[in-house]
Amino acid sequence: MGSLPDACDLVIGGFPCQDISINGKRAGVAGPRSGLYRAMVETVRKTRPKMFVAENVRGLLYAYNKASLATVIADFTALGYTVSYKLYHAADYGVPQRRERVLIVGVLKGAVRFRPPEPHLDSMSRVSSRHAIQDLETAPQDAAFSHVWSLAKKSSEQGGRMLDPNKPAHTVRAECHGNNQFNYSLPRRISMREAARFQTFPDSFLFKARLRETERMIGNAVPPVLAWHVATAVDATLRTFDAARMAAE
């Protein structure tokens, strides 16, 4: 695991979803690719943060993962944390993408409870794919800007999705080649910069990698705008936590 500090305020992690996802082998947190989950539990045990945040896919809440979810809750609760979880729909927080992720939050027991950020958009006010990328329709390919796209033709149903210009994009995948959705008005798949826009990366964020690595970085990311809303709620909890500790001293 490498070196760890003796203590910290917050631990954040996203354990691999391949063993959890409906598209994977459904091995759960005991699967061969879930070692990072066990490493996160150990990190929390050793550093005793005031809070932790763990991210995973919606599949963690499905019936076939009932035992895995129970294990996650039990493992962190046993370390002395009050644990809660919530399914977030990124589009409800201003992300132009239909992306659902589970965030598990723990707060040291006897302190305060985490209050998750409330969604501020509904199905009628979500940011559309056209609003997010329309200005890129006439932009030439630019590798430095990651405005490059796959030339793969329509394949399976999963790899043949077309953007609806009036709705948020479909979920951006980490393994994109041949699976990237098609632009709503152009005869091509979306570019990596368009995918980054759907994830709410600012244009100033440059991906210093080849196409495949860029696809994986973008597709595996938590949308920065959603992360900001969660981080703001975490910050508020930490401030309340510290104030309660000081008042008790």
Q: Do 105 and 153 lie in a common domain?
A: no
* Predicted confidence (pLDDT) per residue in 13-71, tens digit: 987 655 555 455 555 556 566 667 888 999 999 999 999 999 988 888 888 778 888 98
The DSSP annotation for 17-61 comes to STTTSTTTT--GGGSTT-HHHHHHHHHHHHH--SEEEEEEEGGGG
Q: Do 97 and 135 lie in a common domain?
A: no
pTM given for the model = 0.88
pLDDT at 22: 47
Residue 4, in any domain of the structure: no
Q: Do 113 and 139 lie in a common domain?
A: no
Asked if pLDDT for residue 88 goes beyond 60, the answer is yes
Q: How do 51-57 and 81-89 pair as beta strands?
A: unpaired
Cβ atoms of residues 162 and 129 within 8 Å: no
* Backbone phi, psi, residue 55, to 5°: -115, 140
CATH code for the domain in which residue 93 is found: 3.40.50.150
Residues marked active site are found at: 17
Alpha-carbon span 14 to 36, nearest angstrom? 8
Determine the average pLDDT of the residues in 5-13.
93
Q: Do 248 and 194 lie in a common domain?
A: yes
What three-state secondary structure class fits 195? helix
Residue 77, in any domain of the structure: yes
Domain residues for 49?
Answer: 10-122
Q: Do 57 and 160 lie in a common domain?
A: no
